[in-house]
Amino acid sequence: MNDLLHLLKQGNKSSLLAAVVNAIIAIIKGAAFFFTGNVAMFAETMHSLGDAANQFFVFIGSALSKKAPTPKFPNGFGRVVNLVCLGAVMVVAIMSYEAIKEGWHHVMNPVETTGLLINLSVLGLATLLEFSVLLKASREIMHDLGSDKKGLAAFASSFSNLKRAKPATKLVFMEDLVATIGGILAFIAVLLAHFTGFLAAEGIASMIIGLMMFFVVGKIFLENARGAIGETDEEMLNHIAFLVAEDPDIKDIQKVEVLKEGEFLHVEVVAEVDPTKTVAFVDDIRDRLMLLILKQKGVREAIISFDEDDGIKTWKGSNPPEKIKEISPKLPKK
């Protein structure tokens, strides 16, 4: 039990916060839909309910992914978070379908809804809460990158750095971005339906919200499918190759692999050294490189092996040398 609690404490905090907030929002929106029958509110209820469920599972998955390797699972549990995210987006897909279906039904058979103040109050409150979670996820993305940006500054910078975010944080960011935009759309749709008589506006808003949710499903599914299979981190690969090549005792590099294991990186290096050096000397090289590589952000495990130098330069990397030198200074050595 203590081990489980310790793991849960390491879970993705933004996922847990998002799950709690969305559960509260889903209850509030569901009550508003029950009393008013507003179809845009129904779409928002489905959205928040789906978000609450999958973000809770993502929190659990992110915690379990930090479990230490065991003899039965020597490679660790890093990819568990990718598998959980794959399951989570299936929940979002179901909710997306329901939102689109209900929206289409309302467009074909528009019905006037009541409770303008209730709908607007609930949507306004929910949108503010969703945006607060979005800001939290933005701050976490920037924190993971070593930046101290907060608030709107972190939010603006998160878009350009989203690809480097942890899988769980990225899912929370994208879902709550769609939720915030969806809340604004639903708010506008309620106003249009009430003041212009264009009742189909609520159904159209519901369909747009559903389609945005499907976009999140597609993007998150593809990214986590690659992560579950084992995806190379090209930027870190070139950075580590540059660091290894800089070592004065490394003659050549036969192979560098940097695989994403959930939120962590697994590094494998095969380098060539002077065959006249002693085993003790080569072991010192290994210790030096191991210490350097394990200091890199996100690297959890490294395997370094050596071969004798054959006098032929074979390492070209996935990018040309000038590109490696361009990328490497952007990443910290310590």
Pairing of strands 264-273, 252-261: antiparallel
User: 316: how many CB neighbours lie within 10 A of its CB?
Assistant: 11
**pLDDT (0 to 100) of residue 61:** 77
CATH class of 2-229: mainly alpha
Report pLDDT digits (tens) over 264-281.
788 999 999 999 989 999
85 or 158: whose pLDDT is higher? 158
* 37/321: higher pLDDT: 37
- In this predicted structure, the answer to whether residue 331 has a pLDDT above a threshold of 70 is no
pLDDT in tens, 235-251: 888 889 989 988 999 99
| pLDDT tens string 167-218 | 778 878 887 888 889 889 988 988 998 888 888 888 898 889 888 888 888 8
Q: Backbone phi, then psi, for 109, in 5-degree steps?
A: -135, 70
Stretch 285-299: mean pLDDT: 90
- The residues of the chain that CATH labels 1.20.1510.10 are 2-229
pLDDT (0 to 100) of residue 284: 93
Task: Please give the average per-residue pLDDT across 98-112, as a whole number.
Answer: 84
Where residue 101 falls among pLDDT bands split at 50, 70, 90? Answer: confident
The phi-psi region of residue 11 (left if phi > 0; otherwise alpha if psi is between -120 and 50; otherwise beta) is beta
Task: Return the pLDDT at 6.
Answer: 64
User: Is the pLDDT reported for residue 97 higher than 70?
Assistant: yes
Q: What is the pLDDT of residue 168?
A: 75
Q: H helices within the chain, ranges in order?
A: 2-9, 13-36, 39-64, 80-108, 116-144, 151-161, 167-196, 200-229, 234-246, 279-294, 321-327
Indicate where the chain has its CATH 3.30.70.1350 domain(s).
Answer: 234-330
Confidence (pLDDT) at 326: 41
Residue matched to tokens 């607007």: 120
Looking at the whole model, is its pTM more than 0.85? no
Beta bridge partners of 244: none
- Tens digit of pLDDT for each residue in 251-261? 999 888 888 87
Sheet of strand 264-273: strand arrangement: 252-261, 264-273, 299-308
pLDDT-based confidence at residue 304 (cuts at 50, 70, 90)? very high
Q: Is domain 234-330 given the CATH code 3.40.50.2300 in the classification?
A: no
